[in-house]
Structure 1
Amino acid sequence: MKYFVVLLPMKDSDKSRDFREQHLSFLEKMRNSGRVVANGKFTDGSGGMVIYKAKSYEDCMTSVNMDPYVVEGARAYQIMEWEAVWAVNME
């Protein structure tokens, strides 16, 4: 499996607010299935980031395109494959 960092810059703050619960529910399902490793918003309000675990770029893109934020046009996205180096004692 590979890791992918997905940046979700803000496109429409009203849509982002309106579809926040659906987006968070989607991410929870993705975390529970093991397809999302971590996610969070940027404190400056400019968007957020999700770390996906997928077999390929295409598999990651399929998941990203199911995110309500992307579907509804609240956020743009950029996918980058990431060679992760993990700390032993992450908190």
Structure 2
Amino acid sequence: MKFAAFVEYANEPERLAQLRPLHRAYLQDLLQQGRLVVAGPFADGSGALFVYEVANESEAAKLAANDPFAKAALFRAVVMKPWKLVFASPDNLNPPL
């Protein structure tokens, strides 16, 4: 089952930048395990969207809580909702190089 996490970042750009490599490595690991569907920050830098593929909301919450940003108290708020994929364009999901 998919769960979308809408995350608001703390207003600490220096700490976010410092921990970003660990955060991205964590997400890359989840992606390789098949537990992350998509992830990316909002264009204004205020937060991010993560879509997890897990058995239940509790497992999704654990993935969010184990993110290096969350462990460093850089997640100000997390809203988790079950999510259904109805349409997708693989061509539009390719990250920029």
TM exceeds 0.5? Answer: yes
Would you identify which runs of 4 or more consecutive aligned residues in structure 1 move more than 6 Å?
Answer: none
1:68-83 equivalence runs, <5 A: 68-76=68-76, 77-83=78-84
SS in 1 for 2:15: helix
How many angstroms apart in 2 are the aligned matches of 1:63 and 1:5? 12
TM-score, with length taken from structure 1: 0.89
* 1:7 Cα offset (Å): 1.3
Is residue 86 of structure 2 the alignment partner of residue 90 of structure 1? no
Aligned-residue Cα RMSD (Å) equals 1.2
> Which ranges of structure 1 fall in alignment gaps of 5 or more residues?
none
Q: Whose helix fraction is larger, Structure 1's or Structure 2's?
A: 2
Q: Report SS of the residue matched to 2:82.
A: strand
Deviation at 1:57, TM superposition (A): 0.3
How high is the TM-score relative to the length of structure 2?
0.84
Give the Å deviation of 1:25. Answer: 0.2
Contact 1:39 1:51 in 2 (8 A): yes
In percent, how many aligned pairs have the same letter?
Answer: 21
> What residue identity is the alignment partner of 1:6?
A
Counterpart CA distance in 1 for 2:14 and 2:74 is 8
Q: Which runs of 5+ in 2 are unaligned?
A: 92-97
Structure 1 residue 86 displacement after superposition: 2.8
Q: Which moved more, 1:70-79 or 1:51-60?
A: 70-79
Superposed, 1:1-91 pairs within 5 Å as 2-11=1-10, 12-76=12-76, 77-87=78-88, 89-91=89-91
- Please list the CA deviations of residues 11-68 of structure 1 after superposition, one character each: whole Å capped at 9, or x if unmatched: 1323211210000000000000000011111111111111100100001111111100
